[in-house]
Amino acid sequence: MYLPKPLDMAELKQQMSEYEWPLAVTELFVPREELSSEEALHGLRLNFSYSLTNERKNALLHLSKVIAKMSETVR
């Protein structure tokens, strides 16, 4: 039986740019309901600062490619 390797957040962060990492964490890893008010405000600032849809799409696409690459190296 194949068990996937847990995501190495430090490795993932290293492979992402300064812009992509906080956006990915805000958008993918932390459900909005679980954010504290300070974290939510930071997330809103990120969303406002990087509101261009194409930039967000590219960052999330890059993140999915990084995760897929990490999964392949485990197999």
What the block records as the tokens of 50 is 């990087």
Q: Does a structural domain hold residue 2?
A: no
The pLDDT score that the predictor gives to residue 69 is 77
Is 32 contained in some domain?
yes
Q: What is the DSSP letter of 30?
A: S
CB 50 within 8 A of CB 56: yes
* 48 found inside a domain: yes
Q: What is the pLDDT of residues 30-56, one digit of tens each?
A: 555 555 555 555 555 555 444 446 666
Residue 56: which domain range? 9-74
Domain contains 22: yes
Residue 4 lies inside a defined structural domain of this protein? no
Average pLDDT along the chain:
62
Query: Does the residue 55 lie in any domain?
Result: yes
Q: How many domains does the chain have?
A: 1
What is the token pair recorded at 35?
């954010």
Q: How many helices (H) and strands (E) does the chain have?
A: 4, 0
